[in-house]
A and B are shown apart, each in its own frame.
Chain A
């Protein structure tokens, strides 16, 4: 069905279509609309799920882990400080191999208190063992949420998935949305190690130096296998529903001399900058990274690269710029822009490209 929706409403509609058995959630701006809408679905009977209104985000994730360990599909959503408060449980969800799906509406961290878009909240969870995808339109928020369940629950993965969307810039924007009937695109959830009261087992027991590393390696093995599962899932999604996704969305990058790398809504607005640069004779292209974990394999050979980081790792650099340095031979020009919702236009992005200098880091709006 074709309709209009905000990014938040689209995520809620997709989560409902995936039929989770448990939704445990705690509200936080700018995510609240998602869990509020899911509560409405449960209240009006259109979603047959146990809705657990917990007292904190730490408990929300703990409840999702418990339900998932019992073999039940689970969903939650959070933002910013809520995500940070879950941190311990995020490691636990991956370690316990509970394929929880969560929407994270990217928001800056206080102080100073700020409810606008930034990616540092998600990137600070990068080593938890969660898969992370970043979206750029209302439609993509819906589609990625649906695919997240299939990817997380695939027996080759069995890891949690985080769907990231920009606070306000996407969570509160209204665009057109085509909803789908998911059918058997998301198969029934089967967890081979699910709690079974008929056959009691121990969970979360002491795991000594003789065996612990095996469990860590097992997570990494699944993370590596997830690349194939993601590709299969995105191909199957395209076959059934006609919309095509990949690890990276490339725009006019094939013959480009300079490529803009960015995520989320800035990655989409970069395409407008590419068009205007091309009109001025600059052979520009863009690569919008969709997946952050597992990190995409990029071919940037022979091209200049401008990375826009809506995040920062203090004492080290922009997380994406450093990731590009670590995984390619590129020496990117690093631009730190859009922190805490800082306004960045396509004209600004075009200027980042015109004024690029390989290896240099610039903070947009800072002159000292």
Chain B
């Protein structure tokens, strides 16, 4: 079983990102569950959501404590939250940033999701959309297939800029 924890801020679509990853994994023929940790919902506050991917049906409903991978949609949450807490040895980190940090013992995949969203004008109510392009990054590092990622996005959002941004993120994610 592969476990992922996603860090974002309320309103940035981390919960939807988790759902999309599960949907893509499902298209790849895997079993997957996605769920948010619901606290008191507050826009802008640090939030986490979880994805589990497995070849077998998943029976675990409790939160992910020792993720195999951490995804950070908003690097500013790192000031308030220890996003690496419990991360398994050698576990990968995917960060939306232009200044990739160096984390000892963990491969860091940096990508400027915010810049990509702004370039393709994927902006809603003044906020760049990060949860669809991040699927391109996750496809690039092999978590899900590229076809499944684009399919999951296309069946969830009608706006083609979501797929476009994911394709761009796929190209620009550092392996």
Contact = CB atoms under 8 A, between A and B. Distances in A.
Interface of A: 4, 30, 115-116, 137, 166, 168-170, 172-176, 265-266, 268-269, 271-272, 343-346
Interface residues of B, number: 20
A87 to B, nearest CB: 27
Interface in B25-46: 26, 31-36, 38
A172 B62 contact: no
Interface of B: 18-19, 22-23, 26, 31-36, 38, 57-63, 65
B146 to A, nearest CB: 19
B59 A4 contact: no
B62 A4 contact: no
A74 B169 CA distance: 48
A117 to B, nearest CB: 9
Given A168-B38, A172-B38, A346 B22 contact: no
Contacts of A344: 62
A345 B62 contact: yes
Contacts of B57: 137
Contact of A176 (B32, B60, B62): B32
30 contacts: A4-B32, A30-B38, A115-B38, A137-B57, A166-B61, A170-B61, A172-B36, A172-B38, A173-B33, A173-B34, A173-B35, A174-B18, A174-B19, A174-B22, A174-B23, A174-B34, A174-B35, A175-B32, A175-B33, A176-B31, A268-B61, A269-B61, A269-B62, A272-B60, A343-B62, A343-B63, A345-B60, A345-B65, A346-B60, A346-B62
A206 B19 CA distance: 54
Nearest to B22: A174
Given A172-B38, A175-B33, A345-B65, A272 B23 contact: no
Contacts of A116: 38
A346 B60 CA distance: 7
Contacts of B19: 4, 174
Contacts of B32: 4, 174-176
Name the residue among B18, B23, B63 with the largest chain A CB count within 10 angstroms.
B23
Name the residue among B26, B36, B63 with the largest chain A CB count within 10 angstroms.
B26
Nearest to A265: B61
A216 B18 CA distance: 49
Contacts of B18: 174
A307 to B, nearest CB: 19
Nearest to A169: B61
B61 A4 contact: no
Contact of A172 (B26, B35, B63): B35
Closest 6 pairs between A and B when the two form their complex, measured CB to CB? A174-B34, A345-B62, A265-B61, A173-B35, A174-B19, A4-B23
Contacts of A345: 60, 62-63, 65
Nearest to A138: B33
Contacts of A346: 60, 62
B94 to A, nearest CB: 20
Contacts of B35: 168-169, 172-174
A176 B59 contact: no
A4 B60 contact: no
A176 B22 CA distance: 9
Nearest to B24: A4
A319 B43 CA distance: 38
A169 B38 CA distance: 10
Nearest to A272: B59
Contacts of B38: 30, 115-116, 168, 172
B84 to A, nearest CB: 20
Contacts of B65: 345
Nearest to A176: B26
Nearest to B152: A4
Contacts of A272: 59-60
Nearest to A116: B38
A363 B150 CA distance: 47
Contacts of B33: 173-175
A250 B51 CA distance: 27
A265 B63 CA distance: 13
Nearest to A264: B61
A166 B61 CA distance: 11
